[in-house]
Amino acid sequence: MSTSTYNSGSDADQRRANRTKKRNAAEKRFQWYGRLSIAFGIACVLYLFTDIISKGIGAFTQTYINVEIEFDREMLRLGEAPTEKEIKAASFNSFFKKTLRAKFPEAQSRREKSQLYAMFSSDMPLILRNMVIEAPSILGTKQNVSMIADDDFDTFFKHTYGRDLNAEDRISRLSDFQESILGKLVDSGAVEKRFNTIFFTNADSREPELAGIRGAIVGSILTLLVTLILSFPIAVATAIYLEEFAPKNKITDFIEVNINNLAAVPSVIFGLLGLAMFINVFGLPRSIPLVGGLVLTLMTLPTIIISSRSAIKAVPPSIREAALGMGASKVQTVMHHVLPSAMPGMLTGTIIGMAQALGETAPLLMIGMVAFIVDVPGGISDPATVLPVQIFLWSDSPERAFVEKTSAAIMVLLTFLIIMNSLAVWLRKRLERRW
């Protein structure tokens, strides 16, 4: 062997070593791309959740101002034993203003006075009136009343008051006069934060401090109820037909193609269908849970059908053969053996479909469930809105305090969704039999 070949050999070794290094580096890089992608995804999840929670957590507390109020008969112009009608006719509005002026004599000018009134929820006179209607005996006595603070007051007290913030982060829509009053109230210990029950017991309102999600939650439940009652039996029946009974022909193929395509049709199209068919052709009213439920049924059917079919497919043929061998009819085989075995899988699919329906907004906008509704719906034919639509409506609202409410409503919606999805996972793990 000559030196030259030896040299070239070492060259080749060198080259080989370099190439190996390069290839290993490429391998490392590639793995890092994967890790970075996953990290990006997880970071998005975390950021989304922390962002929503940090924005919304404040809405679960509400500021109250404890004020001692004398229910003076003369100021209210009410006699010894007033009837309910008389109480309703009494001017609680002016009574409330007078009481406030007496409590806070520093309000001198007209402007200061109106700023003083604006620190309390505009519903306070009404609440005082209801107190008197409930217990007329408080007339003529002094009572400690927890007054609901107005949303600007509430936001300022929760986020800005007593914190050393630079001008940019200061959230304040209060005037200097209002801030001075607030300072006095806090010093006297009259201001307190409590768990916000209003948010869970009220329906929508124009006033952020009085707006709640009860109406939307009831609307969502009613809508989902309609969806569940319609979609579960229909989807299970379809899945059974396609898996067990359908002859192999063009009609069956056509049904399958339709189901697969419907699963990928954008949801807003289902809204157009609902608007044109249910509302224009059948003349059903707008904004009701019944129509919402019908639209969501059509939208979730493909999801439930597809998962129910795979649940039926997972039941081994031996079960069917055994039943048929024992003399059961085809229908008996399916109803007594295949269906019970496939039920957990079908239920899982249904819950996932329901979770999808619960979060859906766009088709419900089309059928008019965006109306501003202050009453809690009592049935499936009352005007209603649903939780996601409520979120959409609030997010559009210019009032700053609604940002907090929106995030809180999102937290409630996500909680429901997490519960439903965990239930589905649990059901799959717990009940599904492995063959």
Partner 1 sequence: MNLSTLFLIIVAGTVVAYFLGHRRSFAVAKPVGGVRNLATLPSYYASMMGLWALVPALMVVLLWSVLDSAIIDSLVKSTMPSEAKQLDDDSFGLIYNQVENVAVGIGSIDALGREYEPAVERLRNLNALSDKAMPILTIVVLLLGAALGFKGIKATHNARYAVERAFNIFLFVCSSIAIFTTFGIVASVLFESINFFQKVPFFDFVFGTHWSPQIAIRADQAGASGSFGVIPLIAGTLLISVIALSIAVPVGLMSAIYLSEYATTRARGIIKPALEVLAGVPTVVYGFFAALTVAPAVRRVGDSLRDWGANNGIDWLANLAVSSESALAAGMVMGVMIIPFVSSISDDVINAVPQSLRDGSFGLGATQSETIKRVIFPAALPGIVGGILLAASRAIGETMIVVMAAGLAANLTINPLEAVTTVTVQIVTLLVGDQEFDSAKTLAAFALGLFLFVITLCLNVIALKVVKRYREQYD
For partner 1, the binding residues in 270-309 under the rule CB under 8 A are 270-273, 275-277, 280, 298, 301-302, 305
Q: Is 359 in the site for partner 1 (CB under 8 A)?
A: yes
Task: Report the nearest approach of partner 1 to the CB of residue 376 (Å).
Answer: 20
Q: Is 167 in the site for partner 1 (CB under 8 A)?
A: no
Residues 6+ apart with CB under 8 A from 55: 403, 404, 407
Binding letters toward partner 1, positions 50-89, x by CB under 8 A? -xx--x----------------------------------
Nearest to 236, CA basis, from 382, 366, 353: 353
Task: Report the nearest approach of partner 1 to the CB of residue 329 (Å).
Answer: 6
Task: Report the nearest approach of partner 1 to the CB of residue 47 (Å).
Answer: 8
Cα-flanking dihedrals φ and ψ of residue 162, to 5°? 75, 10
Q: Is 413 in the site for partner 1 (CB under 8 A)?
A: yes
Q: Is 322 in the site for partner 1 (CB under 8 A)?
A: no
Sequence-distant contacts of 376-380: CB under 8 A, at least 24 apart: 376/203, 376/214, 376/215, 376/218, 377/215, 377/218, 377/219, 377/222, 377/289, 379/222, 380/222, 380/225, 380/226, 380/288, 380/289, 380/290, 380/293
CA dihedral 41, 43, 44, 47 (to 10 degrees): 170
Q: Is 314 in the site for partner 1 (CB under 8 A)?
A: no
Three-state SS for 77?
coil
Q: Is 44 in the site for partner 1 (CB under 8 A)?
A: yes
Task: Report the nearest approach of partner 1 to the CB of residue 275 (Å).
Answer: 7
By rule CB under 8 A, what count of residues binds partner 1? 83
Position among 17, 42, 89, 419 found at the interface with partner 1 (CB under 8 A):
42
Three-state SS for 363?
helix
Tokens of 327: 């003399």
Q: Is 326 in the site for partner 1 (CB under 8 A)?
A: no
CA-based torsion, 311, 316, 319, 322: positive or negative: positive
Task: Report the nearest approach of partner 1 to the CB of residue 383 (Å).
Answer: 14
Binding letters toward partner 1, positions 383-402, x by CB under 8 A? -----xx-xx--xx------
In order of 143, 162, 257, 304, 342, the CA distances from 356 in angstroms are 49, 43, 22, 11, 21
Q: Is 435 in the site for partner 1 (CB under 8 A)?
A: no
Site for partner 1 in 171-210 (CB under 8 A): none
